[in-house]
Amino acid sequence: MFRRLLCYVEAGETGLDELEGLLDLASQLRCRVIVLAVIAPEGKKLTKKETQARETLEDRSWKFLYEIEDIAFEREIKISLMLEEGDVEDTIAAVVKSYNVDLCSTFSYKSIHAGSLLAKLSTVPLLFFNKEGP
């Protein structure tokens, strides 16, 4: 039924332990997981400090994605990693459409408005996982 599951994550906001439920679900469904992180589009004229901050964010995002990949491989879960630039909701919707995703999941982030994202996903279900912590 579900062949592709997309999960949007934000490096620094999501812990690896919070992804346990997603990985359990993917394992039970025997589906491919597409893990997506999105960063804001690069401005035209960045200062040296802004360039360094952006590079740090990209590095941190890839590091986090690779950590997720390691866990998925240990569990024998098929996984694809993506780091894209753009508006979060628009990028999620574009990836869902272009990769024929059957189920979209994420956590409750400030950058996501659930109603708006649902409208952009059309008929693809959206699953919100709870974040752990205080």
Query: What is the layout of strands, in order, in the sheet containing 79-85?
Result: 79-85, 32-39, 4-8, 103-107, 126-129
Evaluate if residue 132 carries a pLDDT over 80. no
Give the count of beta carbons closer than 10 Å to the beta carbon of residue 22.
Answer: 23
- Tell me the whole-structure pTM to 2 decimals: 0.91
Q: Is residue 53 predicted with pLDDT exceeding 50?
A: yes
* Residues 127 and 104 sit within 8 Å (Cβ to Cβ): yes
Give the C-alpha separation, 50 to 71, whole Å.
Answer: 32
Inform me whether the pLDDT recorded for 134 exceeds 60. no
Q: Which of 83, 88, 82 is CA-nearest to residue 112? A: 88
Structure tokens at 130: 């709870």
The CATH architecture annotation of domain 4-129 reads 3-Layer(aba) Sandwich (3.40)
Strands 79-85 and 126-129, bridge-based pairing: unpaired
Q: Note whether 6 and 101 are within 8 A (CB).
A: yes
Where helices occur in the chain by DSSP H, the ranges are: 20-29, 48-74, 88-98, 114-121
Q: How confident is the model over 11-25, as pLDDT tens digits?
A: 888 888 888 888 999
Report pLDDT digits (tens) over 54-74. 899 999 999 999 999 999 999
Q: Which residues fall within 8 angstroms of residue 121, CB to CB, at 6 or more apart?
A: 92, 93, 96, 104
